[in-house]
Structure 1
Amino acid sequence: MKKIAAIMCATVALTSCNNKVADIDTQVNELYDRMSQEERIAQLKSCYMDDLFDENGVLDSAKCAEMIPNGIGHFSQYASQKPTDANVLRDRVAAMQEWLINNTPNGIPALFHEEVLSGINTRDATIYPQQIGQACSFNPELAELKTRQTATALRKMGGLLSLSPMVDVCRNPSFNRLEESYGEDGYLSAVMGTAFVRGLQQGDLKKGVGACSKHYLGYGGGGDADEKELMEEILLPHETMIRLEGSKALMPGYHAYKGTNCVANSEILQDILRDYLGFDGMVVSDYTAIDQIP
């Protein structure tokens, strides 16, 4: 199941939508064995959905055949590239998935992801208070209700994965993304972040969408913390979301930990994340993090 996590997520999403009960591990392994190396690599890639539609909003099959002949893992920020009516987005996602299922070697659908920190990042969406404002309430029930509503709306638009929540424990008031966080307290961030995930994923993903905790580990402050602070406070929000709610994805930060970029750091990605936390979900890089590896 760990061979290509993106395939697992796409398979889970598809089977969940069809209410099938199946051994996901077996499905993924059988699918992986059927795939060519090109298809496997394609599942690790992404692009923007708008690049595959013409100026009239019609799916360009020739461009699809040229750009994604072996399929694709996910479409990046599909709802916010060109703010569009939700019904139009829904129809475009449906057209894209139909093309992938019927025109690629193994018919694997793609994940469509979007930012949902304060509601869906798109036109006419309901906008909720920023995380730092919600933290002032210390009301996890309200935080869960917010993301439950967000998840329902995103699913109706074809979205299956969010790039949220952001649970960096921020202790530097000049950090330029402070408003996305729950502030400086690890426990508060853990409680609110876990409620965020619970509302978003809605248990088994038959109605919800996958959550992605970010930015792992110590972005916004704490990347150079001593081991006690790192493990007991900075890690805490990620740990509770993984252990208590089964958060499906995780995003390393742009920063370095002990001199190595987080996106390529075996200590935090393997030793802590996989071995200590037992995380078996999908790790996704931030948008240009791979390009920033020295």
Structure 2
Amino acid sequence: MINYHTPVMLRECMDGLAIKPDGVYVDVTFGGGGHSKEILKSLNEDGRLLAFDQDEDAKKNIPDDDRLTFIDQNFRFLKNYCRLYGAIPVDGILADLGVSSHQFDQPERGFSIRFDADLDMRMDQSSSLTAAKVLGTYGEEQLHKIFGIYGEIQNAKSLAKTIVTSRLNRQISTVSEFKDVMGKLIPRGKENKYLAQVFQALRIEVNQELEALQEFLTQASEVLKPGGRLVVMSYHSLEDRLVKNFIAKGKFRGEVEKDFYGNEIRPLEPVTRKAIIASDDEIKNNNRARSAKLRVAVKV
């Protein structure tokens, strides 16, 4: 598929993985295959790559390469499928989180505020939960929580109330219908930012992104061999906070646990103290790189 997605920080990701030619690697967000194809270039005939993606469109990008095993599943099932394919432990795992440019650019997928389309937003198109279903069936309190926590919307409570009141008269099924409902609540001069936050919140809920990320990170630390690398790129603060905390503490909340002797118990060690960000040149050429944060850790 042409122009599916330009991989962000490709060189930095490969450096983070520190690829061994005969190693076993996992790309849990295959998408357009940009990162996977680069990993394959560094592997010899004994190397292996497992690639996960739940989006049906991603299958069109699979290269003809015997070293690659494609798994059409959510990365929250990482451990089960690595075990199924006899690939535990692994030398490195790469995750490029969020939505691909291709998904944003397909109007019918309903991810983008730029097009009028059905409110879908499913990464796994076999799933039954759509954005329209969330807006049509969730209670006011649930909606308030989603927009407040996942979208960090200031007027989340008012938005939730407006949606619940509005749907008494008509269903909210399309992007334009949803924009009409939100109308008076959108801050003037900040329309795009507000809508992007609202859509982000809905997308996270539809795809259970934060729950899946936590399951994935926990399993990644178990699947990696000692000295193996975890490379995760995120695009908003909610994801980055989970990744940062898990690398630093081996858990998502609270303080790092210690053993009887006072030694910290955590499976991973950060390779860089701060997140790696894209260069100015890359951001000029690929706007998606602007918000990307890359974190690299090694299995202790």
TM-score, normalised with respect to structure 2? 0.29
The structure that has the greater radius of gyration is 2
In proportion to residue count, which structure has more strand?
A: 2
Q: Which has the higher contact order (CA 8 A, sep 6+)?
A: 2
